[in-house]
A and B are shown apart, each in its own frame.
Chain A
Amino acid sequence: MTKLLALLAIFAALFCAPLVIGSEFWLNTVLLALYAALLGQAWNILGGYGGQFSFGHALFFGVGAYSVAVLQVELGLSAWLGLVVGGALAAVVAVIVGFLTARYGLRGSYFALVTLAFAEVFRILSNSVSWTGAGEGILIPLDQRLAALQFPDTASAYWALWAITLACFLAVWRLERSRFGARLMAVRDNEDAAAAIGVDAMQVKLGAMALSGLFMGLAGVFYAQKFLYLDPAIAFGPEKSVEALLVPIVGGIGTLFGPLLGAFALHGVAEIARETMGDAPGLNMIVYGTILVCMVLFLPRGLAGLGKHVRRAFRA
């Protein structure tokens, strides 16, 4: 219950961000951090709680993003329908990928490589068919009304993202306390032992894939509606997959608050590096990279593990 209260308190504070942050730029920075937290938590469901390290989560992101874009541009349907279809379709694709990998017993690095390959296949496909705009990309017409699921200002975009992210974090909080979550973590810790006590590993993995895919797909829908342009590299490129896994790795894999900590730490470090390094191109990236390496080296359990270190130090 303490965790839930802490989570709700953090999200209540985050809700107020547009009311207290006067600067459009800094609100946008918080928005991008929250968006990274959503990507990270979506990955964390499968990678952190399920132990299935995916290198191709951009696949689900891209499916969600292209669904909402294609439904609007090619079929003239409502973006709100696209929101539902985007999330659902991403979950379905995740289940299919999960079924194929589980069916052939692909775990660890094999699972990681197969997910990477699936994302790449979708990138090439979206580059080849005309209804995705192929290499030219797809442009959603500007119509800044909520009826078109577009955002007249940064604050409304922020609150829409906040709602999706809160839903994702609440789902993970529930997951931690559910039987499904216990089974998922049992499969993560020792799949054979879990199977021996009657856990259906495939069913559990598929459930985690669906949930992870759903939120990744919703993140894709948000991206498409915020920036209104997609191309295959943006939607299915490896950058999105890396962003999704980097956030929980830095923040703390398999923890509720890890992705949030990781996202804000990474964006904070990036902004500080940029502000302090001036205009010299790339210098901020060197500082950012160095800090990142140090964080991974000295905080192998991520920032969420830092609390344990501190408590232990106080007890000693």
Chain B
Amino acid sequence: MATRMNRRGFLGTTAATAGVLAAPGILRAQAETVKVGLVHPVTGALAYSGNQCREGALMAIEDINAAGGIKSLGGAMLEGLVADSQSKPEVGAAETAKAIEGGAAGIVAGYASSITLATSQEAAKTNTPHIVDVGVSDKIVGRDLPNVFRLGPGYGKIAAFAVDNLVAINEGAGSPAKSVMIIHEESAFGTGTAGLLAEKLPEKGFEVLDVIKHANPTRDFTNIALQVKAAQPDIIIPAQYYNEYVLFARTLRQQRIEMQGIYSVLGGAASSFKFVEEFPEAAAYIMDCNHWYNPLSEEALRRRAAAEEKGLYYTYEVYLAYNAVALLADAMEQAGSADKEAVIEALAASTWDGHAMPYGPTKFVDGQNEGGQPVNTQVLDGKIEVILPPDFASAEAVFPMPKG
């Protein structure tokens, strides 16, 4: 029996054949994926912050891909290679090596300063671009590692900013505060920040009554609170991680310690929605000098809403890690390549302003974004408001804090 092909059959066969023949061409035309290593401490002592960082970085990848990927690379999609540093520098370095070996064109890491020092150095061996998401130690940049870039400020700048603004807030209220007491955690960020504050505050006329260091973790702040009570400082300056900050602030309230204000510098909880929501009384009127998004930026508010939709608190870890990935992606976009050398060159010349932070366009000097700056926030009526700098302020500072 002869087999006859009808019109429908002919068209179907032709279409199928054309499809099969064209497939390799289509595959060739599809842009390649660009891998980015995301190394964070998602287990261990820093797990909460590490997970927040990871979520922020993944959100950025999701947004960039949804917007069409890296356009100058033919719409290449970003792929995150997530890794856990287990809150240990040596594991962070090993995971960075693994990500680079897995094809990562850039690294975003590693939350804590000690881990970031190790991950950036590991990336330097292969000249892989490394964006620092959170680590604030001034030792991270300026090590002659051309691959290391940090968008946010280091603690040197933050401490100077904090002192200047404390003076401004105090003078604005008629200079009622004369003395301070600094309470800080013992690692690089707390010690470095406290050291700078203790040096700079006396130059501005403040008497530093005491500087108290505590271990991580510390779960009972009664003794420290009693020391504060005995010294009667006008202002208390904490520089602590989240858990310690919450416990310390609660203990101050429990001990009914009277002061004119709590003015944190990089306060782990002072600018945290979680803290304000869970402990509104302890959080009321606390001021903080910290990383913060630009509250007047619609893009920042959109990102915050998107994070909250995912059930995340929009903490500094989330938006700093988000921006670290976005900065890297922008550099690839500008370079028109994922080649490491080209991306590093693009980063060094970067003038990116899509960060929705109160920074202005990026300008890197020795890996540090010169425009990176903190803001001053204050918890007012259960909300975190920006009080300084005036260009980004959403409320006026309330100082001294109301009694009772």
**A positions within 8 Å CB-CB of B:** 23-25, 28-29, 32, 127, 134-137, 139, 141-142, 153-154, 223, 226-229, 231-234, 239, 274, 279, 281-282, 284-285
**Taking CB as reference atom, which chain A residue is nearest B194?**
A135
Closest Cβ–Cβ distance, residue A133 to chain B (whole Å): 9
Which of B42, B82, B98, B213 makes the CB contact (< 8 A) with A135?
B213
12 interchain pairs, CB-CB under 8 A:
A135-B187, A135-B190, A137-B187, A137-B188, A142-B124, A223-B90, A227-B118, A229-B89, A233-B187, A281-B47, A282-B43, A282-B47
The answer to whether B101 touches A23, judged by C-beta atoms less than 8 angstroms apart, is: yes
Q: Is the CB of B213 within 8 A of A127?
A: yes
Contacts known (A24-B100, A139-B117); A227 close to B144, Cβ less than 8 A: no
Closest to A228 in B: B121
Check if B183 is an interface residue, CB within 8 A of chain A.
no
Pairs A-B, 5 closest by C-beta atoms: A135-B191, A25-B98, A281-B42, A229-B117, A135-B186
**Interface presence of B377 (CB below 8 A):** no
A92 to B364, CA, bound (A): 47
Check B368 for interface membership: any CB of A closer than 8 A. Answer: no
Q: Is the CB of A136 within 8 A of B137?
A: yes
Chain B 96-121 interface residues, beta-carbon cutoff 8 Å to A: 97-98, 100-102, 113-114, 117-118, 121
A232 and B186 contacting across the interface, CB-CB below 8 Å: yes
Q: Which of B316-337 contact A (CB under 8 A)?
A: none
Docked complex Cα distance between A239 and B91 (Å): 13
Closest to B155 in A: A136
A153: nearest residue on chain B (CB-CB)?
Answer: B125
- Residues from chain B with a CB closer than 8 A to the CB of A227 are 89-90, 93, 118, 121
Let me know if B192 is at the binding interface, CB within 8 A: yes
Instruction: Kindly state whether residue B160 has any CB partner on chain A within 8 Å.
Output: no
Question: Measured between alpha carbons, how far is A81 from B113 in the docked complex, in Å?
Answer: 28
Across the interface, do B94 and A32 meet the contact criterion of CB distance under 8 Å? yes
Question: What's the least CB distance linking A302 to chain B, in Å?
Answer: 24
* Residue of A24, A32, A232, A284 with most partner-chain B CB within 10 A: A24
Question: Hey, what's the 0/1 contact readout for B132-167 against A, CB within 8 Å counting as 1?
Answer: 000001010001110000000000000000000000
Q: Are B190 and A25 in contact (CB under 8 A)?
A: no
Give the residue among A28, A134, A154, A234 with the most B Cβ atoms within 10 A: A28
A137 touches B114 (CB 8 A): yes
| Distance of A24 Cα from B186 Cα, bound (Å) | 34
Tell me the smallest distance from the CB of B381 to a CB of chain A, in Å: 35
Cα separation A171 to B195 with both chains bound (whole Å): 45
B121/A142 in contact, CB under 8 A: yes
Q: Interface SS of chain A: helix, strand, loop or mixed?
A: helix
B contacts, CB < 8 Å to A? 42-43, 47, 50-51, 54, 82, 84, 86, 88-90, 93-94, 97-98, 100-102, 113-114, 117-118, 121, 124-125, 137, 139, 143-145, 186-188, 190-192, 195, 213, 216
Contact yes or no, A134 B97, CB < 8 A: no
Write out the residue numbers on chain A whose beta carbons fall within 8 Å of the beta carbon of B86: 285
Decide: A281 near B51, CB < 8 A? Known: A28-B97, A136-B137, A229-B117: yes
* Minimum Cβ distance to chain B for residue A18 (Å): 14
Question: 18 more A-B contacts (CB under 8 A) besides A32-B94, A137-B113?
Answer: A23-B101, A24-B97, A24-B98, A24-B100, A136-B195, A137-B114, A137-B139, A137-B188, A142-B144, A226-B90, A227-B90, A227-B93, A229-B89, A229-B118, A281-B47, A281-B51, A281-B84, A284-B84
Residues of B within 8 A of A281 (CB): 42-43, 47, 50-51, 54, 84
Q: Least Cβ distance of A255 to chain B in Å?
A: 26
CB distance from A247 to the nearest CB of B (A): 15
Contacting pair A231 B145 (CB below 8 A): no
Give chain B residues whose Cβ lies under 8 Å from the Cβ of A137. Answer: 113-114, 139, 187-188
Q: Which residue of A lies closest to B54 (CB)?
A: A281
Given contacts A227-B89, A229-B117, A282-B47, contact A136 B97 (CB under 8 A): no
Q: Contact: A229 with B114, CB < 8 Å?
A: yes
How far does the Cβ of A183 sit from chain B's closest Cβ, in whole Å?
37
B117 touches A154 (CB 8 A): no
CA gap between A281 and B46 in the complex, in Å: 12
On chain A, the residues within 8 Å of B54 by CB distance are: 281
Closest to B82 in A: A279
- B38: nearest chain-A partner, CB-CB: A279
- Chain B residue with the shortest CB-CB distance to A35: B90
Taking the closest CB of chain A, its distance from the CB of B324, in whole angstroms, is 19
A28 to chain B, nearest CB (A): 5
Flag if A282 contacts B42 (CB, 8 Å). yes
B189 CB, nearest partner CB in chain A, Å: 9
Alpha-carbon separation in the docked complex, A280 to B233 (Å): 46
In whole angstroms, what is the CA distance A231 to B47 when docked?
20
Q: Are B191 and A136 in contact (CB under 8 A)?
A: yes
User: Which chain B residues lie closer than 8 Å to A127 at the CB level?
Assistant: 186, 191, 213
Of all chain B residues, the one with the shortest Cβ separation from A151 is B125
Chain A nearest Cβ from B118, distance in angstroms: 5
How far does the alpha carbon of A231 sit from the alpha carbon of B87 in the complex, in Å? 14
**Docked complex Cα distance between A75 and B118 (Å):** 23
Residues of B within 8 A of A32 (CB): 90, 94
A234 touches B89 (CB 8 A): yes
A142-B144, A227-B89, A279-B82 given; A285·B114 CB < 8 A: no
* Closest chain B residue to A134, Cβ basis: B191
The residues of B that contact A282 with a CB separation of less than 8 Å are 42-43, 47
Q: What residues of B have a CB within 8 angstroms of the CB of A134 in the complex?
A: 191, 195
Residue from A23, A139, A142, A285 in contact with B43 in the complex, judged by beta carbons closer than 8 Å: A285
A residues near B139, Cβ cutoff 8 Å: 136-137, 139
With a cutoff of 8 Å between Cβ atoms, the chain B residues found around residue A229 in the complex are 89, 114, 117-118
Question: Residues of B contacting A228 with CB < 8 Å?
Answer: 117, 121
Q: Which residues of A contact B216 (CB under 8 A)?
A: 233
Known: A135-B188, A137-B188, A281-B51. A231 touches B114 (CB 8 A): yes
Are B97 and A154 closer than 8 Å at their CB atoms?
yes
Complex: how many Å from CA A141 to CA B139? Answer: 10
Complexed CA–CA distance, A134 and B186 (Å): 9
How far, in whole Å, are A24 and B216 apart by their CA atoms in the complex? 34
**Residues of the A chain whose Cβ atoms lie less than 8 Å from the Cβ of B88:** 239
Identity of the chain A residue whose Cβ is nearest the Cβ of B102 in the assembled complex: A25
